[in-house]
Structure 1
Amino acid sequence: MHDQGKFIIAAVGIFFSYFYFGILQEKITRSRYGERDEDGNYEKFTYTLTLVGVQCLWNWIFAKGLTLVKPEKEDKTHYGYYACSAITYLLAMVSSNMALRWVPYPTQVIGKSAKPIPVMILGVLIGHKRYTIQRYCFVLTIVAGVILFMMKEGKVNATVAASEQMLGIGEVLLILSLSMDGLTGAIQERMRSAHSPTAQHMMIAMNGWSTAIVSVAIILTGELFEFIAFASRYPYVLVNLALLAVTGALGQLFIFIMVASFGPLACSVVTTTRKFFTVLFSVIFFGNALTSRQWMGAVLVFVGLFADAAFGKSAVKKTDKNEKDKEKLLSNK
């Protein structure tokens, strides 16, 4: 019962934190700044590395502050795990944000909805995690439902046309982002099995490494000075960045609680379905009609979620128990 309550708190925290985070992110990156230039274009926020760097730095400060309130025991996790996961984590975030330059937002959402798949595949190959056929089917059902729900009839042709026009650069970046998500999950799975770090340990170390790496990249590319000039012209963007950092830090804390307690697959399922519920709430409160395809997607997501909650964990526990019994039998021989 305690684990169930902890799971619900972490899942709700992830949803509400990243719901507002998404609103702020779109406001920062898609707003028009200043007046039209000679070509009739407005200035845009294009400082992806800075955006990621601010989030990582604030997440690190937030996690460090938590240790003053609730001190943690010494973290004995090898620094190599954190360094590798920080690199893959950064590559996933940067690739996903850069993909928006070449593909429309619905394509990015649909692509990132497949996140549990690389998490499972690389979790098996690198993290030595074992899943049952049932668990694979449940996750595939959830992903299929999210994809069906997100794909609106009127945007399919536009998405395809944009993809063909841009020679697939955006799709390549999304594939890279998904691959990095899978590697991050696999490394975290190995980390959990080898050292069992707490959520705060993971948040401090990963964001510390990420901040150091992205800071070097921002300076070497010259983006830091360009951003300072941009912020001096439009200082109100700093307020939105501060709010983005706070909501991102809260959301990441809940994510690391989920990863540390229930594993990266459970976390990826929650974050994927969070996108579904965000759209579903907009349908309920704003009265947008659903197509038959979206209703089918909604049904698939709920079926996958309830099936995974009811049978997924018990199936994994049974598999783990069988493996331990086999190891014990071999050792006795």
Structure 2
Amino acid sequence: MAEPLPTADEVKDNKIWKGIFAVSGIMITLVIYGVLQEKIMRVPYGVNKEYFTYSLFLVFCNRITTSAVSAGSLVASKKALDPVAPVYKYCLVSVTNILTTTCQYEALKYVSFPVQTLAKCAKMIPVMIWGTFIMQKTYKGFDYLVAFLVTLGCSIFILFPAGTDLSPYGKGRENTVWGMSLMVGYLGFDGFTSTFQDKLFKGYDMEIHNQIFYTTLCSCVLSFTGLILQGHLLPAVDFVYRHNDCFLDILLLSTVATTSQFFISYTIRTFGALTFAAIMTTRQLVSIMLSCMWFGHPLSWEQWIGAVIVFGSLYSKNFWKKTSPVRPPPQQTENGASSTEKAVP
């Protein structure tokens, strides 16, 4: 006898619980991740007040954890570990991802976490640029307007600091300029990474864990090689050996970074990219507020205006997309590829 179909109320309740699960998972893991990365890079350890300065070591720890978990997921689901795309394409994503994360950690030495987090909101600009060149995408005037407003808000937030939030690695405008240069590098590399990942997913029949496994595996090799060439591997290991609290912070950082990938994938698959974008915008706002309270970052009234412009623009963009009519799906060609996209990147 066939089981009865769920009622509309049961479907609605199930959707609500799934939403609570997704939002809670993303908010908790990524907010903890943000607090931990600021603590590791900006708060001294031990009685001698030593700072952890080995950004590439954090990248290596994060990637090796994610690689192990993604490999376990592929084995548990009995899916092939063989690469779907040419290995050099995974490596290209890996290289730009390493540069992205390294710039992110290094920037925290010179700019505060609220400044860094708000500056990340401007990533839509490099994504639009890379999307035009790599994916041959076109964007509407409203998209350019939102990008302009976000850039304006970020610029106001950065140019009008409260004046007392100093870098632990030095004082002066030079450090702030270098910190923002690192953030520009972060935005550029991150925009390329996400755009090229999108191209790989569209060009190959690729499982998300397959891409995560091979890109993080390449990242492990590259970051480990970089640590050896820089001579930072043994000093980093010695630092975490002498400071057990730093070791625990890095362990927790790698754990929540890996866990967040699961929640991100689950949210996009269950609710779509639009809902995910709204959640991430809220997460950035919560992270800034929590960082200001936890680490005592003062905000000027100009920075509050800049934050309102940025988040107001992002929420407006999400609302506009939600109310705009849905485009019909592209026609399929004989080989199954979209008529508007190439089958292989």
**What range describes the TM-score normalised by the shorter chain of this pair?**
0.7 to 0.9
- Looking at structure 1, the residues matched to 223 and 40 of structure 2 have their Cα atoms a distance apart, in angstroms, of 20
Corresponding residue to 1:26 among 38, 53, 63? 38
- Superposition CA RMSD, Å: 4.2
Change (3 A) 1:101 1:279: closer
SS of equivalent residue, structure 2 residue 162: helix
Q: Deviations over 1:249-291 (max 9, x none)?
A: 0112334556778998986775454221333568899xx9997
- Partner in structure 2 of residue 125 of structure 1: 133
- Looking at structure 2, the residues matched to 126 and 156 of structure 1 have their Cα atoms a distance apart, in angstroms, of 42
- Looking at structure 2, the residues matched to 226 and 182 of structure 1 have their Cα atoms a distance apart, in angstroms, of 32
Q: Deviations over 1:178-234 (max 9, x none)?
A: 110111022112112211523222221221111111011112222111122222322
Per-residue deviation, 1:33: 2.4
SS of equivalent residue, structure 2 residue 137: coil
1 or 2, which has the higher helix percentage?
A: 1
- Looking at structure 2, the residues matched to 168 and 262 of structure 1 have their Cα atoms a distance apart, in angstroms, of 39
Unaligned 5+ runs, structure 2: 1-13, 334-338, 341-345
Change (3 A) 1:280 1:233: closer
Counterparts of residues 70-149 of structure 1 (less than 5 Å): 70-72=77-79, 76-138=84-146, 140-141=148-149
- Partner in structure 2 of residue 331 of structure 1: none
Change (3 A) 1:129 1:313: farther
Question: What TM-score, normalized by structure 1, do the two folds share?
Answer: 0.76
Question: What TM-score, normalized by structure 2, do the two folds share?
Answer: 0.73
Per-residue deviation, 1:170: 2.2
Matched, 1:214 2:223: yes
Change (3 A) 1:143 1:171: closer
Number of residue pairs the alignment of both structures matches: 318
Whether contact under 8 Å (1:196, 1:260) holds in the other structure is no
Per-residue deviation, 1:14: 2.7
Corresponding residue to 2:251 among 242, 246, 258? 242
SS of equivalent residue, structure 2 residue 122: coil
- Looking at structure 2, the residues matched to 104 and 95 of structure 1 have their Cα atoms a distance apart, in angstroms, of 14
Q: Deviations over 1:83-135 (max 9, x none)?
A: 11111010011112122333444443343231122112212211233333333
Matched, 1:51 2:63: no
Identity, in percent, stands at 26
Matched, 1:177 2:186: yes
Corresponding residue to 2:67 among 51, 60, 79? 60
- Looking at structure 1, the residues matched to 316 and 276 of structure 2 have their Cα atoms a distance apart, in angstroms, of 16
- Partner in structure 1 of residue 239 of structure 2: 230
Change (3 A) 1:50 1:233: same
- Looking at structure 2, the residues matched to 139 and 12 of structure 1 have their Cα atoms a distance apart, in angstroms, of 28
SS of equivalent residue, structure 1 residue 124: helix
Change (3 A) 1:168 1:309: closer
